């Protein structure tokens, strides 16, 4: 069966920034900027991941103004309902027309002690509710020195895919934790090598067709100045953007990377 080309995905993770009013202003300005540049033609999928408190407001704006951005949440509970104070169910996110949910982000692993088992449970919860999990994997500088390149991301992804069906739609995001916030991105070749290895894990666990269609993103100090070099690599299908996604002109330039790669 022929596999359709993978549509690049540029995703902005706003983390704990922007209240619902600021989020509305940001989305409107980003939309106007891209529309003026005639860059909402579907050649690149744009997704925004605001804080939980912004989701309903942003969803209403996207729907009312027919803004072609996908909506995503930054986390979800492994549980569907019950006495779990402060948790947010995948069922609730699905009702707000979220398409994506980030799972296993390095900050969740580090600050909230999320284990590979918790991440795997959250992946299953997302899929139960028709959400596409953006499964984050990556290594610290200590991991890199101790285990070598790709070892920790491979182990994390292998655990996250346990019990996932071959036809499930997922996204994988490689985060070199050693690069995040440092201003020191991985080289395009380093990103390519790890992303290709992760695609191999998908092939092993879910099959060749799944590996061919699954988008693997790079996320680590992504900027307008370096996005084109990453997107030239065959196994890099987009970017999970942190701080740069909070600046409209910078994020718009990242989304418009194609003008720099001649695509």
Name all domains of the chain by residue range, CATH numbers in brackets. Answer: 9-251 (3.20.20.70)
| pLDDT values of the chain reduced to their tens digit, one per residue, 263 residues | 345 679 999 999 999 999 999 999 999 999 999 988 777 677 999 999 999 999 999 999 999 999 999 999 999 999 999 999 999 999 999 999 999 999 999 999 999 999 999 999 999 999 999 999 999 999 998 998 899 889 999 999 999 999 999 999 999 999 999 887 666 778 999 999 999 999 999 999 999 999 999 999 999 899 999 999 999 999 999 999 999 999 999 999 999 998 665 54
User: In this structure, what is the dihedral angle of CA atoms 179, 181, 182, 183, given to the nearest 10 degrees?
Assistant: 90
Exposed, middle or buried by CB within 10 Å (0-12, 13-18, 19+), for 17? middle
Could you give the CA distance from residue 255 to residue 11 in angstroms, rounded to a whole number? 9
Catalytic site positions: 105, 175
Q: Where are the beta strands (DSSP E) in 175-245?
A: 215-218, 238-241
pTM to 2 decimal places: 0.95
Cα–Cα distances in Å, from 161 out to 65, 118, 150, 157, 177?
Answer: 36, 12, 16, 6, 21
Could you give the CA distance from residue 69 to residue 135 in angstroms, rounded to a whole number? 20
For 28, list phi and psi in degrees, rounded to 5.
Answer: -60, -45
> Does 242 carry a binding-site annotation?
yes
> Does 221 carry a binding-site annotation?
yes
> Does 229 carry a binding-site annotation?
no
Residue 95 CA from chain centroid, whole number: 20
- Cα angle value 113/46/255 (rounded, 5°): 105
């Amino acid at each position: 069966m022929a596999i359709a080309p993978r549509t690049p995905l540029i995703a902005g993770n706003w983390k704990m920034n922007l209240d619902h009013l600021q989020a509305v202003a940001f989305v409107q300005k980003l939309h106007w900027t891209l529309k003026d540049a005639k860059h909402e033609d579907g050649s690149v999928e744009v997704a925004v991941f605001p804080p939980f408190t912004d989701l309903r407001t942003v969803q209403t704006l996207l729907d009312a103004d027919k803004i072609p951005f996908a909506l995503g949440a930054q986390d979800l509970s492994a549980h569907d309902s019950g006495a779990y104070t402060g948790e947010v169910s995948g069922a609730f996110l699905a009702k707000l027309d979220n398409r994506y949910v980030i799972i296993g982000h390095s900050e969740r692993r580090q600050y909230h002690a999320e284990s590979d088992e918790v991440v795997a449970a959250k992946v299953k919860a997302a899929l139960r509710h028709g959400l596409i999990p953006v499964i984050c994997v990556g290594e610290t500088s200590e991991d890199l020195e101790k285990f070598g390149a790709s070892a920790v991301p491979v182990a994390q992804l292998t655990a996250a895919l346990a019990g996932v069906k071959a036809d499930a739609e997922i996204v994988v995001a490689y985060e070199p934790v050693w690069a995040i916030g440092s201003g020191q991105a991985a080289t395009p070749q380093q990103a390519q090598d790890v992303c290709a290895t992760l695609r191999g894990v998908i092939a092993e666990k879910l099959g060749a067709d799944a590996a061919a269609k699954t988008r693997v993103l790079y996320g680590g100090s992504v900027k307008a100045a370096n996005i084109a070099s990453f997107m030239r690599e065959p196994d890099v299908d987009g970017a999970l953007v942190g701080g740069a996604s909070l600046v409209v002109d910078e994020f718009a330039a990242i989304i418009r990377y194609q003008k720099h790669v001649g695509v």
